[in-house]
Chains A and B, each alone.
Chain A
Amino acid sequence: MIGVLVAIALGPVPGVGGLVGLTLLLPFTFGLDPAAGLAMLIGVSAVNNTSDTFPAILLGVPGSSGSQATILDGYPMARRGEAARALSASFFASMIGGLIGAIALTVVLPIARPLVLAFGTPELLTISFIGLGTIGLLSGKRPLLGLIGAALGLLLGTVGQAPVAPVSRFSFGFDYLFDGIPLVVLAMGLFALPEMVDILARGGSIANTNTKIGSGWIDGLKDNIRHRWLVVRHSLMGVVIGAIPGLGSSMSDWLNYGYVVQAAKDKSQFGKGDVRGIIAPESANNAKEGGALIPTLLFGIPGGAGMAIILAAMVVHGVQPGPRLLESDMSLVFVLIWSLALANILATAICLVLSRPIARLTLIPFNLAFPVIFFLVVLGSYQATRHIGDLVALLVIGVFGWIMKRVGMARPPLLIGFILAPLIERDLWITTSRYGFEWLFRPGVIILAGIVLLFVALHYRHHLIRAFAK
């Protein structure tokens, strides 16, 4: 309960995510018994992806790396007066995703070992290339500009320490750039600042209409029921992505968003406020936490930074993760699984209660709320490395992001390129050093590539049939 409340309190503060909550609560777990302490941390980890949608939907500001794609459809819904519906759709999708994640963890844990071990760097590299494939989908009407944006993102991702040699690239002597540009600063700059500038210049509040903003939460539930298979599909995708160490929330977010757009028959409303664009990434993000616990518990390999803190807490409490844990302390494993499930239910209930009054924030004249909101964005960015460079970078990227928006260059490809650059460089180097070109013939790579080709073929089946008929 404490973990859930901390996560809900911190989630809406842009850029201050679950990692901060986990770090804050970690010392308090030392005085508790292992089950209670770890349950508290699981509570934070499980629900951060639920409450971080408040700023994403209401302000167009990413609450954390796991809510970047939610902005694309959530924010337009808020602007047309459907904030409560968007929020409740997101919360229910998150809850179902979290529950599916917990069920998957229960079912898969005893048999997951060969599956997780099958993922080496060549398979991770293949997944990164699949991620690059979403760029074409997200480039909109100007694919060339989208590709240029993605190349820019890849280039920005190479700033800082090279992963394969002791070289600091493009840091120009600034110590701030030695570790590269923080993701949170880039995301805030690209999305939050241009949005705020536009609302201020347009005048008025975030929501454009006088629609009853707090009365759509039943619609959100109905949306989840209507798109139930979508929720299940993306939750399962989230579990798989979570189980692969190193992919992270951003990757899960964009892969799922890209896939839901790709698979949809009617794509016309994506980017303008299609609820499927909220449901898919949100269900995947919460399910991902269940998946991330698989390598954490099974091998002691954290699925991400948050899981690394949970792993540290386990070690402090004398709990040794690994296959033996499943034999020696199954009761603790079930406590963690139950915590995951209960935290998701509890968080959804609390967020639903809060969503109605919080959604009303979109009706406040923006130039009245701007000083507070801008301060929160500044705080979230400064939290990244606590260097004044964070704020300078925020401003520079913000101006750049606004110009991109003005000239019609889609911003998501830049962000995806930035996220993928270090993964691709590291994995490509390890893969080619270790396997040469033989990695292309590994079963995992062939299966993943086959799945992608299958989906592409299914998507373009009408064109293919027509081409063969000719």
Chain B
Amino acid sequence: MNDDTPSVPTHRTDALTIAFGLLVAAIFTGALVGSWSMARSAALMPMAIAILGIGLCVVGALRAVLLHGKPIKESKAIDIDEVTNILPHRAARYAAWMGSYIAGLWLVGLPVATIAFTIMFLRIERRASPLVMAIVTGITMGAALLLGQLLNIRWPAGILFS
């Protein structure tokens, strides 16, 4: 491809990107404000990084405004990291499963949370048979008990039970 050939925009300008950009800028701004009250020697590094981060966010915002609606040249660089095209609401569903397991661990402890999570996930997401659910639950609990014993891990007892 010729260097000057315009191609499809590589920057997504959807609401998620804008919200994420604002969040990142807010993190850098918060860090800058927070480091203001620290001892000078401790504040130097975060302050410098925050200023750098805010500067980069400003450059990014200006670039987005100036290039808005214009075709962007496809970069010759390679994408080492994958860019996903899964829609956020689909991802949120599975993130909610993960969050519910962690919340379960915190609330009711490892055994109850693991058994309940495994059975519910397999039933709802896979429509698994009772035999499959029993086998996977057994493997998960077996791994939990074996590794927990081996590594001497004390799982949270669950705030509802402690």
Using a CB–CB cutoff of 8 Å, the interface residues on chain A facing chain B are 13, 16, 20, 24, 72, 76, 137-145, 147-148, 151-152, 154-155, 158, 162, 164-165, 167, 169-170, 193-194, 196-198, 200-202, 261, 267-268, 270-271, 365, 367-368, 370-372, 374-376, 378-379, 382-383, 386, 388, 391-392, 394-395, 398-399, 402-412, 421, 424-425, 428-429
Query: A383 CA to B144 CA in the complex, in Å?
Result: 12
29 CB contacts below 8 A, A to B, read A16-B151, A138-B80, A138-B81, A140-B81, A144-B59, A148-B57, A152-B27, A155-B46, A158-B45, A162-B41, A162-B45, A165-B38, A165-B41, A167-B39, A197-B95, A201-B91, A261-B80, A367-B121, A367-B125, A370-B125, A376-B143, A382-B155, A383-B151, A388-B106, A399-B95, A403-B20, A406-B86, A409-B20, A421-B49
Contact between A158 and B27, CB atoms less than 8 A apart: no
B94 CB contacts on chain A under 8 angstroms:
196-197, 200-201
Contact between B60 and A148, CB atoms less than 8 A apart: yes
Query: A164 CA to B39 CA in the complex, in Å?
Result: 10
Contact between A368 and B126, CB atoms less than 8 A apart: yes
Is B66 part of the binding interface, using a Cβ–Cβ cutoff of 8 Å?
no
Contact between A158 and B46, CB atoms less than 8 A apart: yes
Using a CB–CB cutoff of 8 Å, the interface residues on chain B facing chain A are 10-12, 16-17, 20, 24, 27-28, 31, 34-35, 38-39, 41-42, 45-46, 49-50, 52-53, 56-57, 59-60, 63, 74-75, 77-84, 86, 88, 90-91, 93-95, 98-99, 101-102, 105-106, 114, 117-118, 121-122, 125-126, 128, 132, 136-137, 139-140, 143-144, 147-148, 150-151, 153-156
The 4 closest A-B pairs by CB, nearest first: A162-B42, A271-B80, A167-B42, A140-B79
A374 CB contacts on chain B under 8 angstroms:
98, 101
B154 CB contacts on chain A under 8 angstroms:
386
Dominant SS at the A interface? Answer: helix
Query: A447 CA to B90 CA in the complex, in Å?
Result: 52
Taking the closest CB of chain A, its distance from the CB of B82, in whole angstroms, is: 7
Contact between B28 and A151, CB atoms less than 8 A apart: yes
B27 CB contacts on chain A under 8 angstroms:
152, 155
A151 CB contacts on chain B under 8 angstroms:
28, 49, 52-53, 56
Contact between B128 and A368, CB atoms less than 8 A apart: yes
B155 CB contacts on chain A under 8 angstroms:
382
Q: Of A20, A271, A395, which contacts B82 at CB under 8 A? A: A271
Query: A404 CA to B17 CA in the complex, in Å?
Result: 9
Taking the closest CB of chain B, its distance from the CB of A366, in whole angstroms, is: 10
Query: A197 CA to B98 CA in the complex, in Å?
Result: 9
B141 to A, closest residue via Cβ: A375
Contact between B102 and A391, CB atoms less than 8 A apart: yes
B19 to A, closest residue via Cβ: A403
Taking the closest CB of chain A, its distance from the CB of B152, in whole angstroms, is: 9
B127 to A, closest residue via Cβ: A367
Taking the closest CB of chain B, its distance from the CB of A276, in whole angstroms, is: 13
B63 CB contacts on chain A under 8 angstroms:
144
B137 to A, closest residue via Cβ: A371
A270 CB contacts on chain B under 8 angstroms:
78, 80
A24 CB contacts on chain B under 8 angstroms:
150-151
Residues A140 and B77 in contact in the complex (CB < 8 Å), given A16-B147, A394-B102: yes
B139 CB contacts on chain A under 8 angstroms:
372
A143 CB contacts on chain B under 8 angstroms:
75, 77
A139 CB contacts on chain B under 8 angstroms:
77
Taking the closest CB of chain B, its distance from the CB of A426, in whole angstroms, is: 10
B150 CB contacts on chain A under 8 angstroms:
24
Query: A376 CA to B53 CA in the complex, in Å?
Result: 34
Q: Of B49, B105, B144, B151, which contacts A154 at CB under 8 A? A: B49
Contact between A271 and B42, CB atoms less than 8 A apart: no
Query: A402 CA to B16 CA in the complex, in Å?
Result: 11
Taking the closest CB of chain A, its distance from the CB of B20, in whole angstroms, is: 5
Query: A432 CA to B31 CA in the complex, in Å?
Result: 24
Taking the closest CB of chain A, its distance from the CB of B144, in whole angstroms, is: 6
A381 to B, closest residue via Cβ: B102
B114 CB contacts on chain A under 8 angstroms:
371, 375
Contact between A144 and B56, CB atoms less than 8 A apart: yes
Taking the closest CB of chain A, its distance from the CB of B158, in whole angstroms, is: 10
Contact between B151 and A20, CB atoms less than 8 A apart: yes
Contact between B10 and A421, CB atoms less than 8 A apart: no
Query: A59 CA to B27 CA in the complex, in Å?
Result: 31
Residues A169 and B80 in contact in the complex (CB < 8 Å), given A371-B117, A388-B156, A402-B91: no
Query: A198 CA to B87 CA in the complex, in Å?
Result: 10
Query: A307 CA to B95 CA in the complex, in Å?
Result: 38
B137 CB contacts on chain A under 8 angstroms:
371
